[in-house]
Each structure stands twice: as structure tokens, then as C-alpha cells.
Amino acid sequence: MVTSTAGLVVVLIAAILLIVLLIGALKMHGSLALTIAAIAVALVTGVSLGDVGQILEEGVGGTLGFLVLIIGFGAVLGKLLEVSGGAERLATSMLNVFGEKRAPIVMSLLGLLAGIPVFVEVGFVLLVPLVFVVARKAGMSRLRIGVPLIVSLMCVHCLLPPHPAATAISNTLGADIGQVIMLGLLVAIPTSLIGGPFFMRFADMRLAQEHASSTDAKSVKQGVNKRVGGGDGSVAYAAVIATETDESASDAAVQQKELPGFGITVFTILLPLLLMVAKTISEGVFAEGQTARLIFELIGHPIIALLISVIFAYWSLGLHRGMRLEKLSSITDSSFAPIGGVLLIIGAGGAFNAVLMKSGVAPALADALGGLPVSPIVIAWLIALVLHFAVGSATVAMISAAGIVLPMLAANPDLNPAILVLAVGAGAMGLTHVTDSLFWLYKEYMGIEVGTALKTLTVGTTIASVVALACVMVLHIFV
């Protein structure tokens, strides 16, 4: 039985390596890997055999009891956005306002908006047809448009409730969700712009130059090395220029249906955030027990806020546009299937965290790290960054990191839990590489080599991660 601080820290490192081995080498689902690692930690640290099952049950129930409906309602909201054409409306309207020359910024802002109710992978698949259309209209490469989109989706995924991981760790760390949203927006906007459009302005030029110097006769004969009049006048590289077939199909996808209005779409997406933020603001305006404050506490609870938003979306994106109730029922049913894996991972992550606390591993790590001359914010960021690099899932990284850094709040009473939530989220954004399914999704849709994906997505998300950390450190001064 391991009881010393050094021994418990070694146990944690071994548990993380076990998770990496099970997910990476044995291709095991994250929920199975986390559960096996939790049981191993419990056995090695001397937790009573009769208590292990109960600890796992409490960990799963304590985490999912808060999140199941939130994740489910969010999935319905995202599916309605997809089916109604709301995402296309956002893109076309913003392009008309900002202009085609600012298309990368438009796609970044689109990701911030459209990514609120959907998972990052779903958001990317939903919006990737627009990447091809916008790239052709703006005279830019696919990557110049696609990377800003995927980086902004990643920012929202890791930083802003009601996304599952951000909501889960807000609950684990005892942070006010409304405050996390307000501070998270301050972090997400500059982070997505710097890690996306700003970075790709230079990366795109460099990749174009590399391609121009290495293009061979075969690629020319295949007709894929087309000259495109980009903002920098460069020659776009072959793999990232859409074919005429792709362009026609994408245009048809955007034009084949009447799109909802821009204002009503934005309001529908932002409604759950507005309700949760209103709850936080009301706490500083109304005295405890006042009727107005109680009302805001009711409608601002994440579960009720999402429920209200879904019901409103039924009207704004459905019934108002002539959709029948049978169609809405079908959309609702089809939205639940993709979230099963996420629920399992989050539940298993809650079990893993419960074991870390009961066994004394998490407090031991907090003691070990507490003596280091490094800010707990940096430590939280680094743990999440390393975990994401290792296991390839931002959700797993955030859930696991939250359990590890939780005891640091007791050791640092002046540290705002919302700041620690954002630090963990900032770390989980970085080093998106071959262990992450999002990396392969991006590579295949963009039609590029692994090396190009590493130079763009991996570097872009890592820059965004560092920028987010810097923003969180600045916010920590004032919050």
C-alpha cells in the first residue's frame, strides 16, 4: 500500500501512463481506460476492496447527475441549428458585413457563435462545406479559412459552458458558471483570433512558398495546382484548393434551402448563455431571497436555461419556419445518438477523479506542487496540456486535470475557481496532434498531408493555448 507523498505522485504518473497506453496503443475507449485506471489506483493505494465500487458509483453519479440533461439539451439545440441552416445564415451574413478579404476573421467569429451548442467535431463537420465556398469566393486556400474555424471551435469547446467538459469542471471546482462564461468570452475572442486568422496569415504564405518550390510535373498534369488570387498574391498549394466539383456541391448545399434570419439565429444560440450570465449578475444586484433574484436563479440554472433555449429553438428555427411537429420530434431523437460516448467518458472521468480524492493521490500532488515556485494557474494549464497531448481528448484531459488540481484551491484560498477552470481549458486546447480524432478529421476534410496538418492545426491550437494562458493570467490580476 502506497501512502507517502512521493509514492502517491508516482502512482498518479503511472495511472496517466496506463490511460495513454490503453487509449493510444490498445485503442480502448476513453471511458474504459479511465475506469480501469481508477480501479488500479484504488487497489495500489490501499482503498478497501468493498469500497471501490461505491466510490466509482458516486463519482459517476455526482458528475453525470448534473450534466446528462445539459448535454442532451445542448445536442438538440445544435441539431436544430444544423438542420435549419442557421450556420449557413451566420456565415453568409457576416461575410456580407465584413467582406471577403476578412473571411478568416469571419470564420473565426462563426466558430465562436455556431460552436456554442455543438461539440467541436460536430461543429467542424457541420461548417466545413462553407470553408470550401468561402475559400473560393475570397481567393484563399482552404487552410487559411479552415484553421480559424477549427481553432475557434476548440476555444469554445474548452472554455465556455454549456459545453460538457467546461461545465463539468466548473461543477468539480465549484466555479460560478455565469462567471466562467463572462471571463471565458474575454479569453476566447483574442485567443481564437490570434491562434486562427493571425497565425494562418503567415503560415499560409510559408506553406505556399514551400509548395511552389517543390511542385513537380505530375501535380501540374493532374490540374490541382491552380493559381488563386489570395490577399497576399501567393500561389495556393495544391492539396488545399477545392475542386470545381467540391465548389458546386458546396454552393448547392448553401443555396438549396431558405435560411433563417440572422438576428433570430444569433439570439437562439446565445440565449442559454444570456440566461446563465443574468443569474450571475442578479446576485450582485438583488439581495438574497428577493423574488427577482430567485427568478433569475431559476431560469439561469444550466439545466433550465438549456431547456428554455431548446423550447425557444423549436419555435425560432422550426415551427416559425413551417417545420412540422413530427419533424421536430425526429430531429430531437436523432440528436442523442452522438453524445453517448461523451457521456461515458465524462462519467468515467468523474469516477477517476473520485478515486484520486479518496485515495489521497490528488491531495498529495497538490502538496508536491504547492512547494514549487510556480503559479497554480500555470500548473493547471500544464497538466491539462500534457494530458491532451498524451490521451488525445480535450474532454478527458479537462476532466482528469480538474480532479488533480482541485486540492490546490484549498491551498490557495485567494484563487478564483473560475480562473482555474479557464486555466485547465486553456491547457486542453494545445498540442492537438495525431492522438486526437479531431486532427484526423481536419486532415481528411482538408485533403492534406500529416506534416501540413501538424504545421497548421497543431501549431495553431498550441499558440491559442499559450495566448489563452496569458489572458487567464491577466484576468487573475483583476478577479
Q: Which of 343, 339, 301 lies closest to 117 in space, CA to CA? A: 339
- Contact between 447 and 239 (Cβ < 8 Å): yes
Does residue 245 lie in a domain region? Answer: no
> What is the model's pTM?
0.76
- Contact between 366 and 407 (Cβ < 8 Å): yes
Instruction: Calculate the alpha carbon distances from 470 to 6, 191, 332, 388, 417 in Å.
Output: 31, 9, 40, 19, 17
**Can you tell me the distance from the alpha carbon of 58 to that of 47, in angstroms, rounded to the nearest whole number?**
15
Does residue 405 lie in a domain region? Answer: yes
pLDDT recorded at residue 343? 81
Does residue 93 lie in a domain region? Answer: yes
Does residue 37 lie in a domain region? Answer: yes
Cis geometry, peptide bond prior to residue 162 (ω within 30 degrees of 0): yes
Does residue 248 lie in a domain region? Answer: no
Range of the domain at 66: 5-209+260-477
Does residue 252 lie in a domain region? Answer: no
Does residue 233 lie in a domain region? Answer: no
Q: How many domains does the chain have?
A: 1
List, for the chain, all residue ranges whose pLDDT scores fall below the cut of 50: 216-256
pLDDT recorded at residue 426? 97
pLDDT recorded at residue 3? 67
Does residue 341 lie in a domain region? Answer: yes
- Contact between 184 and 166 (Cβ < 8 Å): yes
